[in-house]
Amino acid sequence: MSILVVGTVALDTVETPSGKSEDGLGGSALFFAAAASHFSTVHLVGVVGKDFPMVNIDFLKKRNVNFDGMHILDGKTFRWGGKYHEDLNTRDTLFTELNVIENFYPTVPESYQQSEYVFLANTGPKLQEHVLNQVKNPKLVICDTMNLWIQIAKDDLMRLLKRVDILMLNDSEAQMLTGQRNLVAAAKKVHSMGPHTVIIKKGEHGALIMNKGLYFYSPSFPVEMAVDPTGAGDSFAGGFVGHLAKVGKHDDTTLKQAMIMGTVMGAYCVEKFSVDGLIDITWDDILNRYNQIREFVHFDPVT
């Protein structure tokens, strides 16, 4: 089944202890598409400026990412610059140039409106809502957000959450949104806001998924060398939603598998700058890491 994603398409300038990448492909929607397109057809809604190097997304077109909903406007593409600290867990934003993404409220192409899965990648909740309004009858709505929107657009976010099935956010954002330090308590509070399922991402410490009957923990994949964490969460979402759309179900068994697929794609993402870690990998590579994670966490019963 197909996925509609709305989010940012960016050119990122990133400095990490491993080096520097200038004007690399980035943005929540692009990272998501780079990961999810290994699993399913992706319809992308986004906006770039005339300066955007279209040739660089050819690899995504080959993997069934549909760019009919990507608007190319006069002006410059959204740019973000950041510098990561030694341990990669913290970063400083050096600059944010909104450029063409300011006041972007697009019409969704008709060919997108039947998408069964909708992923509202990290961007303003008003834009997320605007796009969701144009999808006819989504089977599942998954939403990512961040501290910025919890701080400056909480009302918009709360209104949107009533229509979201699965919310993903990181542990500090979960605390900020719910006021709860304990993750289980935070998840219960999120349920009361609308989403029946919550995913809490803990970076190098893995991720949790919780709903009424499910508590499942996915460890992180131990990469030999993390080069650039930018986009790891979006890539996780790509593996997660991609797997759900591929299987066409979201029962607990499939949700658990999807969490592991998210973990796999997040790990491939951080091994290179920009989306580079997600370009050349094959389905066998993905399955290989999936099975490795099974080895890492599976153990036998005792009597």
Q: Pick from 4, 6, 260, 278: which binds a second copy (CB under 8 A)?
A: 260
> Given the rule CB under 8 A, which of 50-58, 71-79, 161-169, 180-188 is the region that contacts a second copy?
180-188
Cα angle 177, 179, 182 (rounded to 5 degrees) comes to 105
> Residue 287, interface with a second copy (CB under 8 A)?
yes
Q: Pick from 126, 189, 202, 249: which binds a second copy (CB under 8 A)?
A: 202
> Given the rule CB under 8 A, which of 144-152, 192-200, 220-228, 274-282 is the region that contacts a second copy?
220-228
Closer by beta carbon to a second copy, 76 or else 256: 256
Closer by beta carbon to a second copy, 46 or else 239: 239
Q: Pick from 136, 162, 212, 298: which binds a second copy (CB under 8 A)?
A: 298
Closer by beta carbon to a second copy, 35 or else 261: 261
Q: Return the CA Rg of the chain.
A: 18
> Residue 296, interface with a second copy (CB under 8 A)?
yes
> Strand pairing partners for 97?
79
Closer by beta carbon to a second copy, 178 or else 218: 218
d(CA 243, CA 251): 12
d(CA 78, CA 62): 24
CA distances from 94 to 97, 98, 230, 233 (A): 10, 13, 14, 20
> Residue 58, interface with a second copy (CB under 8 A)?
no
194: left (phi over 0), alpha (psi -120 to 50) or beta: left
> Residue 278, interface with a second copy (CB under 8 A)?
no
Strand order in the sheet with 140-144: 65-73, 42-49, 3-6, 117-120, 140-144, 166-170, 197-201, 207-210, 215-218
Residues in the chain, overall count: 303
> Given the rule CB under 8 A, which of 60-68, 73-81, 133-141, 221-229 is the region that contacts a second copy?
221-229
User: What three-state secondary structure class fits 197?
Assistant: strand
Q: Are 173 and 150 in contact (CB under 8 A)?
A: yes
> Residue 177, interface with a second copy (CB under 8 A)?
no
Query: Smallest gap, in angstroms, from Cβ of residue 289 to a second copy?
Result: 12
> Residue 89, interface with a second copy (CB under 8 A)?
no
Binding site for a second copy (CB under 8 A): 87, 181-184, 202, 205-206, 215-219, 222, 224-225, 243, 253, 256-257, 259-261, 287, 290-291, 294-302
